[in-house]
Amino acid sequence: MKYRTLGQGLQVSAIGLGCMTMTGTMYGTASDRRTMVRLLQSAVERGLALFDTAEVYGPFSNESLLGEALAPVRDKVIIATKFGFDVDPVTGRRGIGTNSRPEHIRTAVEGSLRRLRTDHIDLLYQHRVDPAVPIEEVARAVQDLVKAGKVRHFGLSEASVQTIRRAHAVLPLTAVQSEFSLFWREPQHELLPTLTEMGIGFVPFSPLGAGFLTGKIDADTRFESGDFRNAVPRFSVAARRANQALVTLLAELAADKGATPAQIALAWLLAQHPDIVPIPGTTKLHRLDENLGALALTLSPEELARIRTRLDEIPLQGERLPEASLKMTGL
């Protein structure tokens, strides 16, 4: 396994594992729990050491799954979880919008610790910026949890560069999460340069474009009724048909390298900066192995330049999220 270092010296595997889909969040039907426990433990056996979850995934069931699977190997892994949505700490019922009031953060962390079967959270993210609570107040609340030994590192998810700077001034950030892939390259313009300047790690979610970059989705694909991609403009039939040119490019590069399109997509991300650690999600062991295979790939400067040139010729269609979800990001 190769390793990378996020901000504040947090060392993690160069590719992490996004665990959201294991309990049915966003992509429809939940997978068999025993199978997911085995998958998580197999990931540890392969040296993978960054596992990403959140209280809202389920809610609660995803953290509970990780607690069951990773408690026996807790000293070998880095667990990242998130607070920030309005989730009832007892019932798990989700309200409308965000909630990062300090008292809610403290309650959320206690619940996460219990479900994860641990005495500390390695990396705690604010899941979405709460417009009702100044980010300095959020950072101070997390700082208190760090002083208490319950949290070791602080991060933000889907935050603007202004919010990142303000939070970092109170409590230095270890990582920022946001979507970043060949399917969504906007972070290259402002976010990534800011993180590089400030020494903050970048943990891209959806590094395979919610599955599109694997080459397994085309205009004829039909998603389950509970799959969020049914509501995403970029996954409309017309957009998928138009955006297929990107998958064709990946397939060509993969053939040249004896790799898969997914491995090329991940290798491209890893080549963008040494502080980038993508967290592709999967519920299948062979896909986990495929993703980890990207670590053995090296894209030359010439190959990266070829990709850059070709990307300029492919105008992607469709917003990356539904309008309501876009309004909840700080970007």
Angle between helices 102-116 and 61-70 (to 10 degrees): 40
> How far apart, in whole angstroms, are the C-alpha atoms of residue 11 and residue 3?
7
Residues classed as catalytic: 57
- φ and ψ at 7, to 5 degrees? -60, 160
> How far apart, in whole angstroms, are the C-alpha atoms of residue 180 and residue 164?
17
204-to-108, 270, 276, 312 alpha-carbon distances in Å:
24, 10, 7, 21
**3 state DSSP class of 163:** helix
User: Strand 17-18's sheet: what is its strand order?
Assistant: 17-18, 50-52, 78-83, 123-126, 154-157, 175-179, 201-205
121 secondary structure, DSSP code: B
DSSP calls for 236-289: SHHHHHHHHHHHHHHHHHHHHHT--HHHHHHHHHHHH-TTB----B-S-HHHHH
User: What length does the chain have?
Assistant: 331
**3 state DSSP class of 52:** strand
Closest to 155 in 3D by CA, of 10, 325, 320, 55: 10
> How far apart, in whole angstroms, are the C-alpha atoms of residue 1 and residue 173?
25
> How far apart, in whole angstroms, are the C-alpha atoms of residue 160 and residue 330?
5
